[in-house]
Amino acid sequence: MRIERVYAASQEINDAEHKWWNTNAQLVSKVWEMNSIVSWSIRKRYLRKARRFFWSKTKPATILELGCGSGWVGQFLASPVLRIIGTDYSESQIALSVSNAHRKGLNSYCRYFVANSSEWPKETRDVAGVLIHSFLHHLDKNEIDELFSKMQSTFAKGTKVWIYEPAFYTSRIANEENQDKVGVVLEKFASAIVNILSRVYRKYNLIDMNAKKSFEELVVVASKNEWYLSPKEVPFIVEDFTAKLNETFEVNTDYWGTINIVGWVHETNLIKSGLLLGIFNFAFVHLLAYVDAKLSKRSRYNRRKLVAPNYAFHIWECELR
């Protein structure tokens, strides 16, 4: 797996990335976005923080969501006082965004445009903030530089920027005495629950095996090509990316958003019965999300666990310099 991202990706890789997303938009949406009740259960802790970060007491705020994918993140935040303009370069993803907003009755609060990382519609010029959820790691160094430069030239100083990206450390704490034994116990406890649930799902044929197998095929292809999943993506090195952000933004705070939870609930999310999904979500997903939230705050555990190629999702709350 690659750790360092290239300065400028080749046209062949850029084309492969674009094709990959247009081809797999529906599947990735099902597996990564997840069923809305499961997704909210595992992500509400940090999405509520994002909503508070952007919310204004004095007037409605419009937020630009870059790399919006199927639109689900901004749609969790959208309301009469927090409006979303989403952009993505994948036509299939934007089609999903529009469809999802219509299905959820959010057309009045969400608008979507096909656009690349540095070309945005004129409607974005007066936004109060920028939401970036798992998008930047699909860009090469040059594209990130261009994007940050575009933000500085387009938006006012103090514009709020909220970033959630996969990240890792390059080396772990060497001293075994620094191992977080409580963190290890919490992880083993959650993993035991996940293993038991997996056996139940298979025994009683409860999950969508076609979606599971299709996603596993993507993982096999990625592994053969030494990709993380899509052709271009590379997680960030926490310290290096924080330093990079500080060149353009004032990083007010950063913290781990989610650690293991997306993998832990992968199969639960694929339960075919809506009723059973609700029951398992209430009985187990909330518990697993609670354990994951505890792990996200255990720095010694994360310094040992999240070493490349392992990664989790880090959050940076920033303001444009």
Q: Give the Cβ contact number of residue 192 at 10 Å.
A: 10
Mean pLDDT value across the chain:
94
Number of H helices, E strands in the chain: 12, 8
Q: What is the pLDDT of residues 219-229, one digit of tens each?
A: 999 999 999 99
- List, in sequence order, every residue forming a beta bridge with 113; answer none if it has no partner: 87
Cis peptide before 309 (omega within 30 of 0): yes
Q: Count CB atoms within 10 A of the CB of residue 98.
A: 17
Tell me the CA end-to-end span of the chain in Å, nearest whole number: 34
In this prediction, residue 4 has a pLDDT band, given cuts at 50, 70 and 90, of confident
| Residue bearing the bigger pLDDT, 48 or 122 | 48
Q: How far is CA 117 from CA 135, 140, 157, 207, in A?
A: 9, 11, 20, 36
Whole-number Å distance between alpha carbons of 142 and 146: 6
Helices marked H in 104-237:
141-154, 181-203, 209-224
Residue 40: per-residue pLDDT = 96
Q: Which residues pair with 132 in a beta bridge?
A: 66, 163
For the chain, give the percent of residues with pLDDT over 90.
85
Tens of pLDDT along 226-278?
999 999 999 999 999 999 999 999 999 999 999 999 999 999 999 999 999 99
Domains in the chain and their CATH numbers? 11-320 (3.40.50.150)
pTM: 0.94
pLDDT tens, residue by residue, 140-182: 999 999 999 999 999 999 999 999 999 999 887 666 566 799 9
